[in-house]
Amino acid sequence: MKYPFLLVLILLSTAFASAQSNYTPGYVVSLNGDTSKGFIDYKGWERNPDNIYFKDDINGSAKTYTTANINAFGVAGLEYYEKRTVPVSTDEIDINKLSTSPQVDYVTKTVFLRVLNKGKLLTLYLFVDDLKKRYYVTDNTSGEIQELGFHMYIIG
């Protein structure tokens, strides 16, 4: 190969490009309900984030927030997430990994759920991880939350 240096340079530039930050105006809601405005490193998440990076000032240092230290966060005009403890179904929907039993197992997790629609009576949430998309609905009067089931299995 005539130009190994050029190949290395191209590979390194793509690695640095994917590691860039994108601090966008947003806010976090602390455990006691206080709201802090600032900037969130917004990644256009395909999966619900486990943590976020937040700066009070665009030139300041970033703090990492998780479900352990905030109740909610929002990226201005784009997305809003609330911390919720929910039952998460663990069944696969990959056609090559389907179970032969309709039995569904759940694990309880505390996660950031993306708020899709907040109405007077109900709130609709989305949770996406490596297995699948899950939708949740909350009765706003009782606070009860449940997963809207989507399960697949092989019969016979």
- Cα gap 10→91, rounded to integer Å: 40
- Collapsing DSSP to helix, strand or coil, 102 comes out as coil
**What is the spatial distance between Cα 16 and Cα 4, in angstroms, rounded to a whole number?**
19
Query: CA–CA separation, 111 vs 35, rounded Å?
Result: 19
pLDDT tens, position by position, 71-130: 999 999 999 999 999 999 988 777 787 777 788 888 999 999 999 999 999 999 999 999
d(CA 100, CA 61): 51
- What is the amino acid identity at position 50? D
Residues 24-44 have pLDDT tens digits of 999 999 999 999 999 999 999
The whole-model pTM stands at 0.81
Q: Would you state the pLDDT for residue 26?
A: 97
